[in-house]
């Protein structure tokens, strides 16, 4: 099967990396909308248009299912995409339910970090309400992290200062989970781990998203990882440039290391 994965940029490589660890026998098309990244500060109409352009492109190039590996695009566009397009479309959502289910202490909270559009969107707020987790969940928008990730600036002093300053708005000892509500944020697990108290666990929605893909399409797990059947596209143009392919490879290598951090 040919599976499309779409993100505003290179954050969705974290979902691709997770998919490769379980679905190595399948082909992948990865679409990064680098011309329009970041989505988190765009209007809803813009995000809707960009999302349709990307998903339609993937379908036209043979994708039999598409993963919207972008929490922001999922928040804005997933209902419309599913209503108007015929292939299975899997979305992302912050792993608030996972944090809620894993929490063993009713007095501790979950902190969700994401883009401004996701934080302010109705989809995330509805999820929190449905889980009866409003009093146990705090939200924090970290828009600069997307730009840091696209520039491969992962563990610099600039990044750490930004994270420390933003996270200082909360008493982190009152939390037991930090939810990464943007796929770009997976690049920063090591920097976050340095800042967070040891009692705060980091979780993301990548595994849940890939497991849902497997379940919905009744796919068999094949864990022998391979990167030989992937085509990469930047805003509708296939990537052949060696320096860009090397950048993608570096990012996938980093994400593989980040998978071990929790």
Catalytic residue among 10, 63, 67, 70: 70
Distance in angstroms (rounded) separating the CA atoms of residues 237 and 235 = 6
Sheet holding 109-114: strands in order across? Answer: 137-141, 109-114, 175-180, 201-204
* Known active-site residue 182: yes
H helical segments located in 132-241 = 144-150, 157-167, 189-195, 206-217
Integer angstrom CA distances of residue 12 from 28, 130, 150, 184, 240: 12, 26, 11, 7, 19
* Known active-site residue 262: no
Return the structure tokens found at 49.
């248009």
Distance in angstroms (rounded) separating the CA atoms of residues 46 and 107 = 40
* b/e per residue 230-241 (b: at least 16 CB within 10 A): bebbbbeeebee
Q: Which residues pair with 178 in a beta bridge?
A: 111, 202
Catalytic residue among 182, 196, 200, 248: 182
Active site residues: 70, 182
């Amino acid at each position: 099967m040919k599976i499309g994965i779409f993100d505003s940029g290179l954050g969705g490589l974290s979902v691709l990396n997770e998919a490769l660890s379980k679905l190595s026998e399948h082909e992948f098309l990865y679409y990064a909308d680098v011309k329009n990244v970041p989505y988190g500060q765009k209007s809803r109409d813009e995000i809707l248009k960009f999302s349709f352009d990307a998903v339609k492109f993937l379908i036209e190039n043979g994708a039999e299912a598409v993963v919207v590996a972008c929490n922001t695009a999922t928040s804005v566009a997933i209902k419309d995409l599913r209503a108007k397009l015929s292939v299975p479309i899997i979305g992302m959502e912050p792993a608030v339910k996972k944090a809620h289910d894993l929490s063993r202490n009713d007095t501790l909270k979950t902190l969700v970090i994401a883009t401004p559009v996701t934080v302010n969107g109705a989809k995330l707020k509805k999820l929190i309400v449905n889980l009866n987790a409003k009093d146990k969940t705090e939200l924090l928008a970290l828009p600069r992290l997307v730009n840091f990730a696209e520039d491969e600036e992962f563990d610099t002093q600039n990044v750490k200062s930004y994270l420390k300053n933003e996270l200082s708005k909360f008493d982190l000892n009152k939390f037991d989970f930090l939810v990464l509500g943007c796929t770009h944020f997976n690049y920063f697990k090591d920097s976050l781990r340095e800042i967070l108290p040891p009692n705060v666990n980091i979780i993301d929605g990548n595994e849940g998203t890939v497991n849902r893909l497997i379940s919905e399409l009744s796919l068999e797990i094949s864990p022998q990882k391979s990167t030989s059947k992937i085509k990469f596209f930047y805003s509708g143009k296939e990537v052949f440039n060696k320096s860009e392919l090397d950048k993608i490879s570096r990012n996938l290598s980093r994400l593989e290391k980040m998978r071990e951090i929790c």
